[in-house]
Amino acid sequence: MEIIIDNAVPDDIPEIAAIEAESFSDPWRSELFMSELSRDMGIFLTAKKDREIVGYIIGTEDGCSAFIDNIATKKSARREGVGTALMAYFLLGLPKTVESVSLEVRESNIPAQGLYSKFGFKEAGIRKDLYASPRENGIVMIMDLERKKGSETIEKMDDFFAARVDGYDEHMLTEVEGCREAYAEMAKLVPSDTKSLLDLGCGTGLELEGIFERLPHISVTGIDLTKEMLDRLSAKYPDKNITLINGDYFKTDFGQNCFDTAISFETMHHFSHEMKIGLYKKIYQALREDGVYIECDYMVETQEEEDHWYAENARMRGEMGIPENEFYHYDTPCTIENQIKFFLAAGFAKAEKVFQMEGTVIIIAYKNKGDQ
């Protein structure tokens, strides 16, 4: 079901207050929410699914900075991307003069901190005993919006990952919401009769750990642009049947009817629609007739979010004079609906979402209808 983001109105307050009451031990009163509707420089947004309010975000901006006062998701709609959609829409709507956004969060609220970190918020300090019921410190988090002034740069893809290889595993497992769970889920989804596996953008091989536990004798071909990442993967699995290719998977020949299953994990959200469809056609051809492709990637809920990140990427590449055919690291996530359309355009008989935790999504694409 699509998430619809809109400005809050007075009739929304009872539903918003109910979500607040189930989310916080010291909830705001309805009167306070009502007053937020008319506050100067205030931002008050709701998220709806099938006309039901499933979340909200409240904040302010004063021209050069913004503050997020409150954000909550209905319990029954958590881990469905509601918080991600609200945060993205809030940030996208800020004036270009806003240079930073700040918020406060309980020390114990690890899921919320993970969401904020995904958007670039960093811990800036502690406010002792900020919260009551129960009493707890608050973490102050700030996100720099220098991107709005056009002063930032982006790095070459292989340089970006080579520089971060030492902390890559910990980052993916502890800082990217949903990835730890998605690694385990992907391992379960690989068909049990898989003998040969193609792993695109295999990195350090985190996704292979669970797969090798289930299928210890599987033959894996891994492709990645960064040699330093492949060296870590090779060291992890010295006794496994692995062929590693240090190269560009857009240019590498996968062959035809060679693999039972293909996978990728958090690597496809850097490329254009056209590049993805072309790559998916290659994957389709490389799979055997009963093959499946399992993709885990960072995806967004709305077309507005997708359009924004692609526009930002184009702007920065233009400012830096980067040719279209060179790989630079910048996240350009697509909506789940568009990803499914890409698979179908590439020839897959069916594609379906099978897992989602915030922006981390897994889709399975079936080469033939009989494989489902």
- Give, rounded to a whole angstrom, the gap between the first and last alpha carbons of the chain: 22
Give the three-state DSSP class for 83: helix
Residue with tokens 């009502």: 34
89, 116, 183, 280: which one is catalytic? 116
Residue 329 near residue 271, CB atoms below 8 Å? no
Phi and psi, residue 46, nearest 5° = -120, 155
Q: What is the dihedral of CA 158, 160, 162, 167, to 10 degrees?
A: -140
Give the three-state DSSP class for 218: coil
Residue with tokens 């240019």: 251
Helix (H) or strand (E) holding 140: strand 136-144
Say whether 177 is catalytic.
no
15, 99, 104, 155: which one is catalytic? 104
Euclidean distance between CA atoms 58 and 94, whole angstroms: 13
Tokens of 220: 């894996």
Say whether 56 is catalytic.
no
| Nearby residues of 353 by Cβ (< 8 Å), 6 or more positions away | 336, 340, 361, 362, 363
* Best CA proximity match to 45, nearest among 61, 36, 56: 56
Q: Please, what's the b/e burial string for 132-163 (b: 16 or more CB within 10 A of its CB; e: otherwise)?
A: eeeebebbbbbbebeebeeeeebeebbebbee
Q: Which residues are the active-site residues?
A: 104, 116
